[in-house]
């Protein structure tokens, strides 16, 4: 190193040492987004026909150059430890992170025994996630179930009447109580609970934020499903973005199984980047097109949006 360069470098280093930490923050804040792309195993199996094996979802994700997969609990072939460890090893060897375990449960019920059943199921799934090395668990609020058929619920745009004799506030109390009973297990296992905008009390951003605020735990975040606010989604997505811990991005190539939305992904990515979201976006292909083709198009769509 030349003598002049040595003194210049030394002087700059000394000056940097005297600068307050805040002076360095803009460079960090303006760094490129670290958002990573994942794919939900649900993209390959919409509850119809034979289950698409989780191992094959991992293979597909690796072939597409993705960072992870989001595992649908109902799609798993079993829960014995040998199966769980096989999945974990297969993911590791393919350079794929297991990003989230998406389960089905609901806390909106006046029946204490029924609530206990869902709490026990959630705690059990937290342990499954822990054994698989999955750091996040998708939660639902649950719904009133006054419309029994999910197909009929979708025809009604996800809206259903409140259970006769009860109020919406009752539903919030039951949901908060149910989540609170799962926090100890979540913290013990290091599994973050992420509450999705998935019908019921989670069908509005106000409902999601109310539950999040009442639970008030670092072990509860929100899960943003881009396709579950059916009307005027962008302002609603913006409301939940600051508390979002995981994102599931719906696509509908070939027409949706229940409905289709024309989602502006550059706009959604901008919403996420504005709150410095650094986590995973997991593609949920919910169209009728052949799964591999639909997922591939979805990956291209999201990659293009991320790079704009």
pLDDT digits (tens, 9 = 90+) for 64-78: 999 999 999 999 999
| pLDDT computed for residue 48 by the predictor | 93
CATH number assigned to the domain comprising residue 116: 3.20.20.150
Residue 2 lies in a domain: no
Q: Mention every residue, 6+ apart, whose C-beta is less than 8 A from residue 222.
A: 194, 195, 196, 197, 208, 209, 212, 240, 243, 244, 245
Residue 134 lies in a domain: yes
Residue 8 lies in a domain: no
Within a 10 A sphere around the Cβ of 277, how many other Cβ atoms? Answer: 21
Q: Is the pLDDT of residue 163 over 60?
A: yes
Sign, CA dihedral 14-19-21-26, equals negative
Residue 198 lies in a domain: yes
Q: Exposed e or buried b for every residue in 208-217, given b needs 16+ CB within 10 A?
A: bbbbbebbee
Residue 231 lies in a domain: yes
Closest among 21, 28, 8, 19 to 276, alpha carbons compared = 28
Range from 25-39, 105-119, 120-134, 166-180 carrying the lowest mean pLDDT: 25-39
What gap in Å lies between CA 275 and CA 257, rounded to an integer? 31
Range from 26-40, 133-147, 149-163, 289-303 carrying the lowest mean pLDDT: 26-40
| pLDDT computed for residue 82 by the predictor | 98
Query: What is the mean pLDDT of the segment spanning 236-241?
Result: 98
Q: With helix as H, strand as E and coil as C, how does the chain read?
A: CCHHHHHHHHHHHHHHHHCCHHHHHHHHHCCCCCCEEEEEHHHHCCCCCCCCCHHHHHHHHHHCCCCEEEEEHHHCCCCCHHHHHHHHHHHHHCCCEEEEEECCCCCCCCCHHHHHHHHHHHHHHHHHHHHHCCCEEEECCCCCCCCCCHHHHHHCCCCCCCCCCCCHHHHHHHHHHHHHHHHHHHHHHCCEEEEECCCHHHHCHHHHHHHHHHHCCCCEEEEEECCCCCCCHHHHHHHHHHHEEEEEEEECCCCECCCCCCCCHHHHHHHHHHCCCCCEEEEEECECCCHHHHHHHHHHHHHHHHCC
Q: Which residues pair with 37 in a beta bridge?
A: 281
Query: What is the mean pLDDT of the segment spanning 288-297?
Result: 98
Bigger pLDDT: 37 or 148? 37
State which residues form the domain around 237: 32-306
Q: Is the pLDDT of residue 26 over 70?
A: no
Residue 17 lies in a domain: no
**Residue recorded with tokens 């199984």:** 257
What gap in Å lies between CA 212 and CA 195, rounded to an integer? 8
Domain count, the chain: 1
- Averaged pLDDT score across all residues of the chain: 90
Residue 216 lies in a domain: yes
81-138: per-residue pLDDT in tens? 999 999 999 999 999 999 999 999 999 999 999 999 999 999 999 999 999 999 999 9
**Residue recorded with tokens 């025809």:** 155
Q: Is the pLDDT of residue 3 over 50?
A: no
Residue 185 lies in a domain: yes
């Amino acid at each position: 190193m030349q003598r002049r360069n040595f003194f210049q470098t030394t002087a700059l280093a000394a000056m940097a040492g005297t600068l307050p930490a805040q002076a360095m923050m803009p460079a960090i804040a303006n760094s490129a987004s670290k958002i990573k792309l994942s794919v939900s195993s649900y993209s390959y199996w919409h509850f119809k026909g034979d289950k698409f094996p989780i191992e094959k979802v991992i293979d597909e994700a690796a072939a597409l150059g993705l960072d992870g997969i989001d595992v649908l609990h109902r799609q798993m072939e079993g829960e014995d430890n040998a199966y769980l460890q096989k999945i974990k090893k297969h993911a590791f060897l393919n350079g794929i992170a297991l990003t989230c375990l998406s389960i089905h449960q609901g806390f909106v019920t006046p029946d204490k025994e029924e609530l206990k059943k869902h709490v026990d199921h959630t705690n059990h799934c937290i342990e499954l996630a822990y054994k698989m090395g999955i750091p996040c668990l998708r939660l639902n609020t649950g719904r009133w179930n006054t419309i029994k058929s999910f197909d009929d619920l979708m025809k009604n745009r996800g809206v259903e009447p409140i259970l006769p004799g009860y109020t919406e506030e009752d539903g919030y109390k039951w949901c908060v109580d149910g989540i609170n009973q799962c926090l100890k297990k979540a913290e013990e296992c290091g599994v973050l609970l992420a509450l999705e905008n998935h019908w019921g009390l989670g069908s509005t951003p106000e409902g999601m934020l109310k539950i999040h605020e009442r639970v008030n735990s670092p072990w509860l975040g929100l899960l943003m499903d881009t396709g579950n606010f059916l009307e005027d989604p962008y302002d609603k997505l913006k409301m939940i973005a600051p508390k979002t811990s995981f994102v599931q991005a719906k696509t509908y190539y070939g027409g949706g199984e229940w409905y289709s939305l024309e989602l502006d992904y550059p706009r959604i990515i901008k919403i996420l980047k504005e709150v410095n979201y650094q986590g995973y976006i997991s593609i949920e292909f919910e169209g009728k097109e052949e799964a591999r083709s639909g997922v591939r198009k979805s990956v291209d769509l999201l990659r293009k949006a991320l790079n704009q």
